[in-house]
Structure 1
Amino acid sequence: MKKTILLFLLIFNLGFSQEDAWVYFSGKPNAATYLANPLTMLTQRALDRRTAQGIALDNLDVPIAQTYIDQITASTGITVKAKSKWLNALHVRGTQADIQALTSLPFVSSIEFANQTLNTRMTAINTSNSINKNMNVEVTFNYGTSANQIQMLNGHLLHQQDYTGVGKIIAVLDSGFQNVNVAAPFQRLFTNNLILGGYNYVNQSTNVYALHNHGTMVLSCMGGFVDGQLVGTAPDAQYYLFVTEDVASENPVEESYWVEAAEEADRLGVDVITSSLGYFGYDNPNYSHTYSQMTGNQAFASRGANIAFTRGIVVIASAGNSGATADPYVGVPGEATNVLAIGAVKTDETYATFSSIGPSFDGRVKPDIMAQGQAAVVSNTSGAIVTANGTSFSGPIMAGMITSFWSAVPNLTAAEVVQFVKQSADRYTVPTNQFGYGIPDFQLALTNALNAQTFDNEVFSIYPNPIKNVITITIPDESVNATLYLYNNLGQRVNEILLTASNQTINVENLASGIYFFELSAKNKLIQGKLVKQ
């Protein structure tokens, strides 16, 4: 018996002799050059999204120094698995000794092992089993059987007003999109050029239409279309498809792939990220998260998701399917501070018992909101319309609906979108651990958003437009001391003007000719618009 145990331990240790870690760097030496040339790191659409929301560029947008990547890649015994400019880090794999040797490099600021017992600060290890992230499948628009999951959210009322996601882009982060390129429910997307591309971060290839069926079902909740059977919640949005989940194993490198894909989504100008993935337990229990770490900004993917939100992206994640397990709480990245974690309800709006619950360890409301996740109507890889259970489907149902809502009020910021959706939910004033803020009403959210954007032109005005040398700004007396920000079409802030009077004339002759965007808070409402300088 002792020999058997020793042999098992030897095999176990050999199996995990290669460690995973994040190597963090001390700076970005080329930051000034990149910030002076924004199109070298972000597309024009990404810059426009930043400008529209008044978000300035910063060092997080700057890529990792290539010399750092090259030196780490050339280091003995090190394999680079992923990179993150937002966190200025590389995900590496190697022996503990080879990884620790990287600290001798002058630009390495710290190393964080996925095996928390190897870090300076000791953390309790969760030895629970990995969560099954892939759901079991059960085998006006004419919604057919998909009507309930849209009507529950009053999403059909937005569709009737022709708010179907036009002009917005969703990035879907998942395990694979098998047969999406050939299955009938997705052909409308291809016919209308709504699939913009994608990438497989697991295999480092552009092949996203193989590997796994999970992303196929997820995408169908938003973009699928079979008249009389299935209509997705954002049938006219555009989509990028990213594979970040390795179905063969559970390893924290998947969090690094997730962040890498989110950064690419930001670069491409995506508006919404949705991910039906969640991380808590890993194959190597030393890598697993604990409930005490669910504080909103500890896990690598949660930190990346929070940064995505600061870039003006609405980030949506399924809450998880662990509600009936020993670890019933919302996992990574749904637990992140600025991520909308979506729980699941049944067709009658009662709680689906598998749906992960809150609160977060630090007491925040999680999940945030709910959608149908039991008997959700989806497409499988053969194009058949079936039902499936899981927050994997309540998440994208909600993501598509949020995208359609945002297409109705495109001038909202990501933060405003999230707030209007939460405020429309049926438990907003009395959130619970199972439902969070509850089930949103998107018609109510739209009504509230449109009312908030209604202004009296006699109270607020900027003129003339186009402008030559001066502009005159008229604001309510109570808005005196507000600040007006001007941005160029690269998203760079070019002027910041403190308004000290209710009627003020400002000289702008120093501005070059072109299109500028302005942002002003007046009467507790955000006002945004465009100016043309002649």
Structure 2
Amino acid sequence: MKRFYVLILFVSTIIFVIWAALELNKNTDGYLYGNSLRQNRLVNTIRLHKYGITGERIKVGVLDAGFYAAHSVFADTKILGEYDFVTNKSTTFNKDHIKGVKHGTNVFSVIGGYLENDLIGIAYGASYYLAKSDKSSDRLWEEETLAVRASEWLYENDVDIITTSLSFNKCDNADYYYPHQMDGKTTRITQTADSIVNKGVLYFCSAGNKFESEWRIIEPPADGFNVLAVGAIDKFGKHSFFSSCGPTVDGRIKPDIAAPGEGVWSAKYDPKFETQFGWDHGTSLAAPIAAGVAALVLSTHPNLSQFELMEAIKNSSSKADSPDTLYGYGIPDAEKAVSYFGPAFSNTPIFEIDGNELTIETYVFSSNGVDRSSVEVYLLEGESEKQSSYKMYEIDDDHYACEIELENLDADFSIYFTAKDKRGKLTKYPAGKIGDNFILKIINERAELL
């Protein structure tokens, strides 16, 4: 009997150890990100996500061949609208073009998806508009016209960033455009994309997968003057064998940057199989990953122009000092990019009320180092013209807090933050397109943002 109890104790101990190990594993990056950890690491987003920098309040337009928005990875994704320019319907799922649905689902998932232990998109906190312009798996001449209309529709919906992984060089199974026309002036989709950038929206596209073919160079709209063409790298950060190169025929550096596009973990759609995720490759995956980095930057510096945003991404990438025609300016580094113009704050600070005491917490990050003495929060109470500033103190690495005694809990409170990095560059947050203040109200003894 004694041996029996010893055996029971031994087995119970083993079970407990296994359970404890599994529970501890749930707190690791490897568990949270699943196989998508690799692509997130390559563009350096992990810490930013932990700090609450996820692309909140930024609107991204994704133009592709179809989407399965009912996939579990999009359960919490903010989809503001979708439109199919082939069927003129407000849904981008079309069972008659399953290959298109597969492609668009792959693409959308790596930027906007979120499912713990499976896949975390680069900018999962952003909001999205989805546009479908493909009619079939064969590129048709009319699809460029539809892509032009779709791009304009996304612009009209006031998106901040557009990304597409569609390209146009052959139509109706024949040459439609030619390599010698990759001059940024000839193709209609390139002209449209460039005009949208000039009106304030950053436009990303895949460079193309023609490196080993006669075509070889980037495909439209990647030849645009201000379109950010994204080439592909493998898991070691090396140029992918298929990723189209530059320069344009007028000698400009292309692609502009390069992002993970070989061995990328993405969501799958196939009505014949239950597998929801898998590895994929192509510059089609690289473009949305790079666009996701841009969304993180813009969410922390929403006052940036499209050209300042472009500058932050290019000049903080791995080959900024020596761009070439395989990598462009290199692999984006999200941490350096969000720090380029100054420190980055959490997209949404934490506000808690206890009696009359308001506690405020936020992360403040810079790859250049934060001047800790400069971190402040400003508060304007109700209709008062008196604005008060409060020094915040560091409670953990890059994690700041302060406590404020409020006089009138019925008032609305206008709040913003400032901080400098060790170069002396100042950030005020929020700012620009998302407004100059957070508006806070105390409702039922809870601090809530309006």
1:203 alignment partner, SS class: coil
1:378 alignment partner, SS class: strand
Match of 2:87 in 1: 203
TM-score by length of 1: 0.57
Q: Are 1:271 and 2:155 an aligned pair?
A: no
Whole-Å Cα distance in 1 between the matches of residues 168 and 64 of structure 2? 13
Match of 1:338 in 2: 226
Q: Are 1:242 and 2:131 an aligned pair?
A: yes
Count, aligned residues? 322
What are the superposed Cα offsets for residues 18-51 of structure 1, whole Å, 9 maximum, x if unpaired?
A: xxxxxxxxxxxxxxxxxxxxxxxxxxxxxxxxxx
Whole-Å Cα distance in 1 between the matches of residues 236 and 256 of structure 2? 19
Match of 2:261 in 1: 373
Q: 144, 152, 157: which one pairs with 2:34?
A: 144
Alignment of 1:91-102 (within 5 A): none
Deviation at 1:246, TM superposition (A): 2.2
Match of 1:512 in 2: none
Deviation at 1:185, TM superposition (A): 1.3
Match of 1:290 in 2: 178
Q: Is the 8 A contact 1:375 1:389 kept in 2?
A: yes
Alignment of 1:430-509 (within 5 A): 430-450=322-342
Deviation at 1:410, TM superposition (A): 0.9
Match of 1:354 in 2: 242
1:188 alignment partner, SS class: coil
Counterpart of 2:293, as a letter, is M
What are the superposed Cα offsets for residues 361-404 of structure 1, whole Å, 9 maximum, x if unpaired?
A: 11111001011100100010156220001011011111112112
What are the superposed Cα offsets for residues 171-195 of structure 1, whole Å, 9 maximum, x if unpaired?
A: 1111111x322x2111122xxxx11
Whole-Å Cα distance in 2 between the matches of residues 269 and 372 of structure 1? 28
Q: 399, 408, 423: which one pairs with 2:300?
A: 408
Q: Is the 8 A contact 2:296 2:334 kept in 1?
A: no
Match of 1:231 in 2: 120
Q: 383, 386, 391: which one pairs with 2:283?
A: 391
Match of 2:203 in 1: 315
Q: Are 1:169 and 2:71 an aligned pair?
A: no
Deviation at 1:296, TM superposition (A): 1.1
Whole-Å Cα distance in 1 between the matches of residues 427 and 325 of structure 2? 32
Q: CA RMSD in A?
A: 2.8
Deviation at 1:413, TM superposition (A): 0.9
Counterpart of 2:66, as a letter, is G
- Identical counterparts, % of pairs: 32
Q: Is the 8 A contact 2:131 2:150 kept in 1?
A: yes
Counterpart of 2:50, as a letter, is Q
Q: Is the 8 A contact 1:305 1:336 kept in 2?
A: yes
User: Residue 273 and residue 531 in structure 1: after superposition, are their counterparts in 2 closer, same or farther (change >3 A)?
Assistant: closer
Deviation at 1:229, TM superposition (A): 2.2
User: Residue 235 and residue 173 in structure 1: after superposition, are their counterparts in 2 closer, same or farther (change >3 A)?
Assistant: same
Q: Is the 8 A contact 1:297 1:306 kept in 2?
A: no
Counterpart of 1:214, as a letter, is H
What are the superposed Cα offsets for residues 254-304 of structure 1, whole Å, 9 maximum, x if unpaired?
A: 22111211111111110110100111122253x611112111122100000
Q: 99, 106, 130: which one pairs with 1:217?
A: 106
Q: Which runs of 5+ in 2 are unaligned?
A: 1-27, 345-365, 375-382, 384-424, 438-450
User: Residue 531 and residue 205 in structure 1: after superposition, are their counterparts in 2 closer, same or farther (change >3 A)?
Assistant: closer
Match of 2:356 in 1: none
Whole-Å Cα distance in 2 between the matches of residues 451 and 195 of structure 1? 29
Q: Is the 8 A contact 1:185 1:383 kept in 2?
A: no
Whole-Å Cα distance in 2 between the matches of residues 291 and 144 of structure 1? 40
Match of 2:144 in 1: 255
Q: Is the 8 A contact 1:184 1:383 kept in 2?
A: no
Match of 2:378 in 1: none
Moved more, 314-323 or 254-263: 254-263
Q: Which runs of 5+ in 1 are unaligned?
A: 1-139, 458-465, 467-523
User: Residue 383 and residue 412 in structure 1: after superposition, are their counterparts in 2 closer, same or farther (change >3 A)?
Assistant: farther
Q: Are 1:425 and 2:313 an aligned pair?
A: no
Whole-Å Cα distance in 2 between the matches of residues 302 and 430 of structure 1? 26
Which structure has the highest strand share of the two? 2
Match of 1:154 in 2: 44
Deviation at 1:408, TM superposition (A): 1.1
Q: Is the 8 A contact 1:274 1:396 kept in 2?
A: yes
TM-score by length of 2: 0.67
Q: Is the 8 A contact 1:218 1:393 kept in 2?
A: yes
Counterpart of 1:288, as a letter, is Y
Deviation at 1:160, TM superposition (A): 2.1
